[in-house]
């Protein structure tokens, strides 16, 4: 049964399905320098966090590359569809140690 906000106790938060809906607006937050180094003008670094399961619906899956274009008062994010070569370590191959073991077992079988 769904409860309205007026039915909640003062210390309870309404249940939401986190990350299911596209946000209507975001607030630019800030954080301190990760190394604790003092920064000029108050020492805060502006940041923008964008997350949610809804991103999968727009083909923005985990690991995708995004092109960031910045203009005055506008940030545009575009999916970068340029193919990225897969590093050798992620290709299907037999590791060297396994190949050596396979080579010796073939030699033993030949004898």
pTM greater than the 0.75 cutoff? no
Q: At 70, which helix (H) or strand (E)?
A: strand 66-71
Each residue's pLDDT tens digit, 2-20: 444 555 455 555 555 667 8
Tokens of 47: 């940041």
Each residue's pLDDT tens digit, 62-89: 888 899 999 999 999 999 988 777 777 7
Q: Are 2 and 16 spatial neighbours (Cβ–Cβ below 8 Å)? A: no
Mean residue pLDDT across the chain: 75
Q: Are 50 and 26 spatial neighbours (Cβ–Cβ below 8 Å)? A: yes
86 vs 98 pLDDT, higher one: 86
């Amino acid at each position: 049964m769904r409860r309205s906000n007026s039915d909640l106790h003062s210390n309870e938060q309404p249940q939401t399905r986190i990350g299911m809906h596209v946000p209507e607006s975001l607030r630019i937050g800030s954080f301190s320098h990760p190394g604790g180094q003092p920064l000029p003008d108050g020492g805060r670094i502006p940041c923008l966090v964008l997350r949610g399961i809804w991103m999968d619906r727009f083909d923005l899956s985990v690991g995708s590359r995004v092109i960031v274009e910045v203009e005055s008062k506008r940030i545009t994010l575009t999916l970068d569809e340029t193919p990225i070569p897969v590093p050798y370590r992620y290709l299907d191959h037999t590791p060297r140690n396994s190949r050596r073991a396979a080579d010796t077992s073939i030699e033993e079988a030949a004898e």
